[in-house]
Structure 1
Amino acid sequence: MGAATERFFEALPARAPEVLRGLVSGTLQIDLDTGDGTDHWLVRMRPGAVEVSRNRGPADAIWYSSEDLFDRLVSGQAQGVSAVLRNESTFSGNVVLFLAFRRFFPDPPGTRDPREVARRQTGRLT
């Protein structure tokens, strides 16, 4: 497994208060195909908190991805929803958990918040 993926999962609990502000609650199992087997991550989400383990278990949703794709997701080089729509990864279960979890991924390099761009343009015009 890539070091970026390991760091990503280690950082989730600390990042949860800023990312999970809504009422999302449930367990997401993430299965990563390594080519030689499957690595499992169990992510229990609730408002403002995340617990991460390397177990399989009862889950409200399961997301299956290749290890390579997940490494690209955690580096901002790929987008989760796009990967599912292109059938590069699969998802089953409570889609709200997937949509909440994808907020942990970074934006692609060079992405700018359109609100910030508008603020800058407004500031230049005044």
Structure 2
Amino acid sequence: MEALVEQFFSTLQARTPQGLRSPVDGVLRVDLYTGEHTEHWVVTMEAGKPIAAPGYAEADTVWRSDAELFEKLVTGESQPVAALLRNDATLSGDVTLFLAFRRFFPPSPHARDPRTMGAVGPETPA
């Protein structure tokens, strides 16, 4: 599990152009707990470019969830807004920063582009 989380944070900067549509500034802390242990990650975004590092720091926004849920987020198995609505995670602080950060999570592998849902191919005569 830790390897997935580390890989997610270490590749944030490489995925910035596709992740962010506008520059965002701020500090987001991700608190991941497993039982009594909490792991902290700090993501500093300056001009929309993220720099992530393990550790604790004061932050504009704090995401808190169990480590298992976060693993599902980084694999696209779950979505961050849905996790918040289910109360599986908590968020405090600047929501705008979180809304920008959530773009770094992959889409669900079962997601389909809504623009293609209503598309019908040419009918073939019977």
Say which SS state the counterpart of residue 42 (structure 2) adopts: strand
Change (3 A) 1:18 1:46: farther
Displacement of 1:79: 1.0
CA deviation digits over 1:24-79, x for unaligned, max 9?
21110000002241100000113341101112112101110100000011111111
Displacement of 1:121: 3.0
More helix by share: 1
1:82-121 correspondence to structure 2 within 5 Å: 82-115=82-115, 117=116, 121=119
Give the percent of matched residue pairs that are identical in Structure 1 and Structure 2. 48
Displacement of 1:108: 0.9
Judge conservation of contact 1:83–1:89 (CA < 8 Å) in 2: yes
How many aligned positions are there? 123
Structure 1: how far apart are the matches of 2:42 and 2:89? Answer: 17
- Please list every run of at least 4 consecutive aligned residues from structure 1 whose deviation after the TM superposition is greater than 4 angstroms: none
Which runs of 5 or more residues in structure 2 are unaligned?
Answer: none
CA RMSD of aligned residues (A): 1.9
1:73-84 correspondence to structure 2 within 5 Å: 73-84=73-84
1:1-126 correspondence to structure 2 within 5 Å: 1-115=1-115, 117=116, 121=119, 124-125=121-122
How high is the TM-score relative to the length of structure 2? 0.87
Structure 2: how far apart are the matches of 1:47 and 1:114? Answer: 31
Say which SS state the counterpart of residue 38 (structure 1) adopts: strand
Judge conservation of contact 2:20–2:48 (CA < 8 Å) in 1: yes
How high is the TM-score relative to the length of structure 1? 0.87
**Structure label with greater radius of gyration:** 2
Structure 2: how far apart are the matches of 1:89 and 1:121? Answer: 36
Displacement of 1:2: 2.9
Structure 1: how far apart are the matches of 2:91 and 2:84? Answer: 7
Q: Which amino acid aligns with 1:23?
A: P
Structure 2: how far apart are the matches of 1:45 and 1:112? Answer: 30
